[in-house]
Structure 1
Amino acid sequence: MPRHQKFQKVKFELINNLIIIPIEINGSDLTFVLDSGVSKPILFNLSGQDSISINNVSEVTIRGLGDGEPMKALSSMGNTFSLGDVKNFSQDLYVVLDKNINFSPSVGIPIHGILGYDLFRDFVVEINYASKYIKLHNPELYEYKESKKSQTLPLSIIKRKAYVEGTVLIKDSANIPVKLLVDTGSSDALWLFHQPEKGLEIPEKNYEDYLGRGLSGDIFGKRTKVNGVKIGDFELKNAKAAFPYREFFGLMENLGDRNGSVGGEILKRFNFVFDYANGLVTLKKNGKFREPFQYNLAGIELQHNGLRYIAESIAGIDGVVRGENSSSFGNVQILLENKTRLSLVPEIIVSGIRAGSPAAEAGLREGDVILAVNGKSIHRYKLQEILKLLNEKEGKRVRVLIERYNRDLLFSFVLKSVFDD
């Protein structure tokens, strides 16, 4: 950071509970997820449109969560990273060349990599989830402020990762102490390891679910909820939780006394100040604190699948053109006789479907192209907005128009609680 500058403020996008920040690497503008669960920056998903030079390259093997094998990657040293006025002129990074490592389709915008520890190490990092900005504070000039509404807790930094202690309440047992990885790179709420000897039993009401994707592949486990989770004096009741199958952690080193992780769906309910150097974290609940936890009631996973053309009439029933429709979506447009507009829009497909879910029982299939939800053409919505339309509330009837083998089909189903007997 420039000398005597107190802080650098950077706006971010919050998509699917993930913090999306702009990073410049060796002069190339890229988009990264701020992931406190990763030690070194990892670059992936470079398409033919992306151009970046990296320095001092050698081949290495890296591993992460998931059901796959360790993967070959490139290690690169001496790169220049810029975030606003903040720069690192000697940043190490990894480059994953596996095309299957691509988070962009599930997020809805291009994501080129993940960045974590090195940023948290060098600054006092303030994350304001409510106003969607990060402040990187100069540690030498940062001053703690007293506030009755916030609380400062110990933060353990072990092998470049941050852990916070809390308690969970399962069934009618006493509060169970847990040590949780702070994982801003997880869009989920709370992951717990199945450790019966410590009281961490899987609640009876649960269902098998896809939990996400790690660097080494997909992760599955039991989706459920716990009676409560408490960090410091802040308690969230009936909290969404998941118990990932332990085999997906098989490639990881000894997990030590870690009991799970806390991700974005809980973290976004607070504004944080992370002080890795002094082993402290300050948290203050924000306006998102009491928002209901989001469950996949429909049982559908969606992702982008390239682009498709759609046709829109820009003339009224009398044949008169009313002017440009400002709500039209798509950067590439073709006008036909000034009456019909072809627009190039993202294609959204069903990428996964949960067995026994309302969508599966109605007949939806993996690979179906989503055209409309409840009569609303989905090309006017972002990916996360479409998922919200599909999972609005329990008991709501949802109508989904899809395309399958060049035929349009309409399906209807009622959203139901995922924990019904």
Structure 2
Amino acid sequence: MICYDNISFKLPNFYRKLLLSVFLLFSGLNAFSQYQFQIKENKSQFTMPFEFNRNLIILPVYINDKGPFNFILDSGVSIVLITNPSLKDSLNLQLGRQVTIKGLGEGDDLIAQIVTGMNMSIGKAECPIMAGAILPKDILDLTSYVGMPVFGIIGYDFFSSFVVKINYVNQVITVFNSDEFKPPRKCKPIPLLIENQRAYVFADVIMKDNTSVKTKLIIDTGAGHPVSLEPSTNPAIKVPDSTLSAFLGRGLSGPIDGHIGRIKHLAFSDIEVNNVITSFPNHNDVTAKVLANNRNGNIGNDLLKRFTVIFDYQRSQMFLKPNAYFNLPFEHDMSGLELITSSKDSRRYFVSLVQPGSPADQAGLQKDDEIISINLRPVSEMPVSEVDNLLRSKDNRGLLIQFHRKNTTGSNYVVLTLKRRV
């Protein structure tokens, strides 16, 4: 239930990519003796800043007294996952047996290695003995996606240790010892189901054809979109007639394809969301990869960031309070460009994909083009979130794009006319 007094809210929505859900085909990690995180210095709470790029929460993490290493905070993952194997040697990690990871995407499963005995610190929270898994290569390439070095993903181990409050507007997280946490006044809790080390809510969905569907959705801070629904989990979940075929993101096993459309209505507790932009991933890329097909999709950060969110896993509840982002318009990308970027300190943007028939395609932009400026402003001065916002800013808006094409000299200009496609 959201925290407000006698006000009815309706949310428009915008879809962002990246699915980071990880599913493991083994139970070995549960056999390791792990401690929960604890707040150091006998404090009852602490606050720490985070980066928020492309609708992903990025935290500085210390491992074995070295760092900081940027990790994505992802409530959709059950274990610590080191995605950049360069940490293996630099941190002298204790490696165990190999395990199979069943990740999302159209490719094969992955072989990773257990990591044990890590001393991990996040802000003033510390876990002296943490276990996880390390990938053999950095297949997600999260660094290119968010524009800053990223080394891994952390989820359940952190959320289950505390009450965690996420303030998306100020970009700070406040961590409370569970037994000393006092719920916010005038807020009623939203029930969560904690199952298989993930948090779920039950939501009522009305599809475009007016079919009503009761759904079970993961609360997923590692997903940048508002909502994802998987048609093969329920025959009533149908891809709408008016959709956009799209690359939805990258999972551990490769690219995830599907469609982007809208649903009429989504509601859980007192939250009602109308005309929601929703992703519909292909069955073979997502649903077929999940061990237990007892859920229908997820709710991501593009919906959650409209609230100050408090997660209380130990009491199986959360609280939502609308924030300053609540009334901002939601739009899907209107350009048809997929961009990757270099490191934060030397920001460059390259086209990784041009969707056929999109405004970018019609303007003549191509894969591997480097974007130099937008409306005469160098993109080297623009964080990735600002570029994303420009590319979804307004239907029929013209953007003057300066670009450099690979193996050519000089640069070229085109006018990219944005078009609302969903």
Q: Quote the Cα distance in structure 1 between the aligned partners of 2:88 and 2:373.
A: 30
CA distance in 1, matches of 2:395, 2:227: 22
Of Structure 1 and Structure 2, the greater helix share is in 2
User: Is 2:18 the counterpart of 1:15?
Assistant: no
Q: How far apart, in 2, do the equivalents of 1:251 and 1:201 lie?
A: 19
- DSSP-derived class of the 2:331 partner: coil
Paired residue for 1:128, among 167, 171, 179?
Answer: 167
Cα distance in structure 2, aligned partners of 1:294 and 1:224: 12
Q: Distance in 1 between matches of 2:185 and 2:89?
A: 46
1:151, CA displacement in angstroms?
3.2
Q: Give how far 1:400 is off.
A: 1.2
Once the two structures are TM-superposed, the CA of residue 213 in structure 1 deviates from its matched residue by 1.0
Query: Residue 401 of structure 2 corresponds to which residue in structure 1?
Result: 400
Letter aligned with residue 120 of structure 1: F
Which amino acid counterpart does residue 128 of structure 1 have in structure 2?
N
- Give ranges in structure 1 of 5+ residues lacking alignment: 307-329, 332-344
Contact (CA 8 Å) 2:147, 2:342: kept in 1 or not? no
Identify the residue that residue 325 of structure 1 maps to in structure 2.
none
- Residue 360 of structure 1: aligned partner: 361
Q: Which residue of 2 aligns with 1:211?
A: 248
CA contact (8 A) 1:56 1:78 kept: no
Q: Please give the secondary structure, in 2, of the residue aligned with 1:105.
A: helix
Query: How many Å apart are 1:199 and its aligned residue?
Result: 2.5
C-alpha displacement of 1:121: 1.2
Letter of the aligned partner of 2:66 in structure 1? S
Between Structure 1 and Structure 2, which shows a larger proportion of strand residues? Answer: 1
Aligned residues: 380
Question: C-alpha distance in 2, partners of 1:400/1:248?
Answer: 34
Unaligned 5+ segments in structure 2 are 1-38
Question: Cα distance, 1:196 vs. partner?
Answer: 8.7
CA contact (8 A) 2:211 2:236 kept: no
1:21-420, aligned counterparts within 5 Å?
Answer: 21-29=59-67, 30-47=69-86, 51-147=90-186, 150-171=187-208, 173=210, 175-195=212-232, 198-249=235-286, 250-256=288-294, 258-305=295-342, 345-404=346-405, 405-407=407-409, 408-419=411-422
Return the index of the structure with the highest Cα Rg: 1
Separation of aligned partners in 2, 1:155 and 1:388: 32
Q: Alpha carbon RMSD of aligned pairs, Å?
A: 2.1
* Aligned position for 2:18: none
Is contact 2:234–2:296 with CA below 8 Å preserved after alignment? no
Find the residue that maps to 2:361 and give its secondary structure.
Answer: helix
Shift of 1:163: 0.3
Post-superposition shift, 1:254?
2.3
With over 3 angstroms needed to count, the CA separation of the structure-2 counterparts of 1:70 and 1:274, relative to structure 1, is same
- What's the CA shift for 1:171? 2.4
- The Cα of 1:3 is off from its aligned counterpart by 6.4
Is the contact made by 1:374 and 1:400 (CA closer than 8 Å) also made in structure 2?
Answer: yes
| 1:159-182 C-alpha deviation (Å, 9 max, x unpaired) | 111101112222252643211011
> In the superposition, relative to structure 1, how do residues 116 and 49 fare at CA in structure 2: closer, same or farther (>3 Å)?
closer
CA deviation map 1:197-236 (0-9, x unaligned)? 5522222210101111111111111101122222321222
Q: Which has the higher contact order (CA 8 A, sep 6+)?
A: 2
Partner AA of 2:412 in structure 1: L
Q: CA deviation at 1:190?
A: 0.5
Larger deviation, residues 229-238 vs 201-210:
229-238
TM-score, length of structure 1 as denominator length: 0.85
Conserved 8 A contact 2:348-2:379 = no
When normalised by structure 2's length, the TM-score is 0.85
SS of equivalent to 2:380:
helix
The one-letter code sitting in structure 1 at the alignment partner of 2:215 is V
AA in 2 matched with 1:94: A
The equivalent of 1:327 in structure 2 is: none
Paired position in structure 1 for 2:31: none
Partner of 1:318: none
Once residues 158 and 53 of structure 1 are traced to their aligned partners in structure 2, the CA distance between those partners, rounded to angstroms, is 33
Residues 156/399 of structure 1: CA separation in 2 closer, same or farther (3 Å cut): same
The 1:294/1:45 distance shift into structure 2, 3 A limit, reads farther
Instruction: Give the % identical residues.
Output: 31
